[in-house]
Amino acid sequence: TGYYQPPTPGANASFWNLEYYQKYFDVDTITVATRCYTTLLPLSPSYLSAHLTPSPDLYGPFWTLTTLIFCLYVFSSLASSLTAYLSGAEVDYNFSLLSIAVTLVYSYGLGFPVLLWVVLRYFGVSEWSVVEAVAVWGYGQFVWIPVSILCVIPVPIVRWVLVGAGFGVSGYFLVANVYPVIATAEAKAVRGLVVLVAVLHAALALTFKVLFFSYYIKEIGGKDPLGGEVGSDPETTPAIRLLKMFL
């Protein structure tokens, strides 16, 4: 008392003002690293969104998604180069994969949670803020960063196992955080959104595998059932052509 306390940045700013979001980027590296690491530990007491609720941030989700885009493109290109080298083929860099990665990751990591938040608000669920929704989705994709790095290994079965593990870890994190929120809706049919979350997440995992990690070397790991020829560009496979119809 008796001392002037300046207002917190963004405290009186409106929802549509950029200043409103400034406080959500005021977070230290240790906090972001801890939240990323926690998403990999389902048995951790800080696993659920209660870890984010007191002070959710947006810096971590943006960093996670942007790093994921970088890793998907760089390590997919590295996998392509490695495959071409070991198969005696020419390296053919596909720069369109970068734009695909940007569109896919940001649409799913930022656009979908905002859309889900709007739907839940429509059905009267107000316990969840849009920042919390984006934070959960952003941090939930962290596991794909190490997965994309390890998928450089040119063995199809190893990649399928890695993608399956990434799907399981990130999918469980999302459902564990989203279902308690959805369950508060009076309309029981809203709980079906959990199924939608699971289906979309499975589609994301499959898209990652087929689009970015279908390069393989027959002599090392055998043929990938969804891949093309040895050392070929994944975009020439039937699975890729089918996916492109929906992207």
At 162 the pLDDT is 96
CA separation (Å) from 81 to 76, 152, 232? 9, 10, 11
∠209-214-217 over CA atoms, to 5°? 140
List pLDDT tens digits, range 26-59.
Answer: 788 888 898 898 888 877 666 655 456 567 888 9
62-66, 78-82, 232-236, range with the lowest pLDDT: 232-236
Give the Cα-Cα-Cα angle 142, 203, 66 (nearest 5 degrees). 30
| Per-residue pLDDT at 2 exceeds 50 | no
Q: Between 164 and 84, name the one with better pLDDT.
A: 164
Closest CA to 124 of 63, 186, 70: 186
Rounded CA separation 139/18 (Å): 22
CA–CA gap between residue 82 and residue 135 (Å, rounded):
35
Averaged pLDDT for residues 157-172: 94
Residue that wins the pLDDT comparison between 103 and 153:
103
Where is average pLDDT lowest: 61-65, 91-95, 188-192, 201-205? 91-95
Q: Long-range pairs for 26-29 at CB < 8 Å and ≥24 separation? A: 26/57, 27/55, 27/57, 27/59, 27/60
Structure tokens at 111: 């656009």
Contact 136, 175 (CB under 8 A): no
